Amino acid sequence: MIKFYWPSLLGLMALLPLLVALYLWLLARRRKATVRLASVAVARQALGRGPGWRRHVPPLLLLLAFAALLLAVARPAATLTLPLAERTIMLAMDVSGSMRAEDVKPNRLVASQEAAKTFVNNLPREVRVGVVSFAGTAAVVQAPTVSREDVIAAIDRFQLQRGTATGSGIILSLATLFPEAGIEIQHVTGQKNFPGKPINEKKDAKPFKPVEPGSYSSAAIIMLTDGQRTVGPDPLEAAKMAAERGIRVYTVGIGTKEGEIIGFEGWSMRVRLDEETLKNVSILTHGEYFYAGTADDLKKVYEGLSSRMVVERKETEISALFAALGALLVLLAASLSIWWFGRVV
């Protein structure tokens, strides 16, 4: 649907009927100015066959060109699906012990690794991909890069650990996307330093001003998890941080909704998918939540995400298109007039 930024200027379209009336008046005047001859037969013989319908084509094209230019002046805009020139995607992936559960074949971890690798390979080569793994703490296992080989190797290196810190995965992903923002991550990673800078050093951080949620189109976070948070920051608070920076967080829940009892290093526990939290994270950040109960479901989720990550629907001014159409119609009218009549009429 087309909207106009300056709709008041659409009133200029009222000039079009006036131009039509002017053209008809000029035609009538030309007929009156025709040399009066003795008889109609002699007049027809003098005038010859005449241009017929062709005489009206160039003026009609000029009228359409004028209409297109008037529409351009009103600044039309439309919501278009456009490719993104630059894009960075952070994969935040759960490596907690519950990912060894086999309700998703062959198990949750292997299924998520295979789906993630297929997703990465299907992305355009210019899209940068980074990987954050999280369990009790979070770690950057691959900084954003266009090298698909490095990303896939990082995904293959996952090691299961205890705990599930979904909030840590989001915060560390944000810190990776905005390394100069001064985001505190010491309590997230347990590291004293991150990308060469002291964690508490904020003197060089750029002043932060919240933006509209979902408005930052150059990056996104995809978080996959199978359980509830057991340690670390509240994922909803982490989601608010992402929303304030315009970053969309797409959440993927894997595993059975009713939960499953698993054993790991001599202990056992029931793990349940916290769908409510994952849905709220996506709502807060204007992302989307996906549930994957099987390996095939997970593949389909990532296939859908691959197309979403490289395009965006954005309201875009299209005045230039109408102006170009007007210019093309003027050129066509002039060309036909010269071809048919040897001059611009």
Domain segments of the chain as ranges: 2-80+316-341, 85-309
Q: Taking Cα atoms as reference points, which of 179, 175, 98, 180 lies closest to residue 138?
A: 175
Is the pLDDT confidence value at 187 over 60? no
- CA dist 326 → 1, 50, 323, 331, 344 (Å): 20, 29, 5, 9, 17
Instruction: Give the 3-state secondary structure of residue 209.
Output: coil
Which one-letter DSSP state was computed for residue 138? E
Check residue 193 and give its pLDDT.
39
Place of tokens 């008046």: 25
Instruction: Give the 3-state secondary structure of residue 137.
Output: coil
For residue 263, give the H/E element and its range: strand 260-264
The answer to which of 128-132, 215-219, 241-245, 327-331 has the lowest mean pLDDT is: 215-219
As assigned by CATH, the class of the 85-309 domain is alpha beta
Q: Residue 99: which pLDDT band, with cuts at 50, 70 and 90?
A: confident
Residues sharing a CB contact under 8 Å with residue 214, sequence separation 6 or more, in sequence order: 243, 246, 248, 285, 286, 287
Is the pLDDT confidence value at 287 over 90? yes
d(CA 126, CA 128): 6
- Residue 325: burial class (beta carbons within 10 Å; 0-12, 13-18, 19+): middle
For residue 134, give the H/E element and its range: strand 128-134
Check residue 305 and give its pLDDT.
83
Q: Round the average pLDDT of the chain to a whole number and report it.
A: 82
Q: pLDDT tens digit string along 188-200?
A: 655 443 443 333 4
pTM value > 0.85: no
Taking the CA atoms of the chain, what radius of gyration do you get in angstroms? 32
d(CA 90, CA 222): 6
For residue 106, give the H/E element and its range: none
Q: pLDDT tens digit string along 28-61?
A: 887 776 555 545 555 555 555 556 778 888 889 9
End-to-end CA distance of the chain: 37
